[in-house]
Amino acid sequence: MGDTPERFIIHATPGIPWQKRYAGAILEGLEEVGLQARTTPGQDTDAGIHIILGPNAFRSAYASLRGEGRNVITINRAFIGSVLGHEKDPFVAIGWNGYNHNAVFPFAFGDELPYSRALDSFWKSIKPAKARQGSVLILGEYATPDSFLKQAISDCESLGMPWWFRPHPTARATSRRLRMCPYDRLSTACDESTIALTHHSTAACEALLRGLPVVVYDPESMCAPVCPAGPLTATTPLHLPDRTSWVEWLAWTQWTIREIAAGEPWRWIIDTYRKLDPHPADMP
């Protein structure tokens, strides 16, 4: 690279296997489209466009960059079609300046899409609605907001609806005595529940695919474009929405590691950047 400053700075922790793997793919993909990059294991905020891998490892750098009004690419767990680290070619979400529905993606929900990126496996995941008799499934996340949990439980009990709580698999233990969902597998939990309540857990995307109506308590949820907003009340519509356009849109928010290494997402990501900043000084 000589003395030419790197345009992209990839924040990746070498000791976290998926971050190390994706940092290499991102470097390869950016080089494929003629862009320079370097990796950093730390919280530096040098000049350049920063790529943050994961929402937790680099909180300080992300907060500092966004506090200065700088645009940041975020790499996060995919919403459908992948369990990160358990597939040969898993998906990750790529957006600007946020995570989940807070991120700016190449296309907003409802935009005309240039072509379909939804794989056959996505469509096979869509299950029809069916008559359900079961508890309300309250979906936990990595750090479930206590305010959401209290509200969701209160809503269910005020309506006389039985409920159970499914914690995130890696969530911190909670001292609250909760009625735990007896099913470890999310697919089984969805099949045995009547509706799902979420703050912004990505598990809600699978629940919606499996035909379970979802109520969203935080607009950051990727289900927000097609699901009713909480709190849950007697008038909340609990029918299953048309998920076709939603799945097509979700496919444009996430990319496989092979696509990333081949440079495929970067045209769309850079075009999105130019919309955020019509006169970028640090973009070719």
CA distances from 17 to 27, 167, 202, 230, 259 (A): 16, 24, 21, 37, 19
Q: Is it the case that residue 4 has pLDDT exceeding 50?
A: no
- Our count of domains for the chain comes to 2
- In the prediction, which pLDDT does 3 show? 35
Q: Are residues 84 and 224 in the same domain?
A: no
Assigned domain for 283 exists:
no
The 10s digit of each residue's pLDDT in 93-114 is: 999 999 999 999 999 999 999 9
**pTM for this prediction:** 0.90
Query: Is residue 140 domain-shared with residue 221, that is, in the same domain?
Result: yes
| 135-139, strands of its sheet edge to edge | 163-166, 135-139, 193-198, 214-216
In a domain, 2, yes or no: no
Q: Which domain holds residue 105?
A: 8-119+250-276
Q: Same structural domain for residues 172 and 264?
A: no
Examine residue 72 and state whether it is found in any structural domain, yes or no. yes
Cβ atoms 22, 92 nearer than 8 A:
yes
131 and 107 in a common domain: no
**Does 152 lie in the same domain as 96?**
no
Q: Rounded distance, CA 167 to CA 176, Å? A: 12
| Pairwise CA distance, residues 26 & 8, whole Å | 10
Instruction: Please indicate, yes or no, whether residues 211 and 237 belong to a single structural domain of this protein.
Output: yes
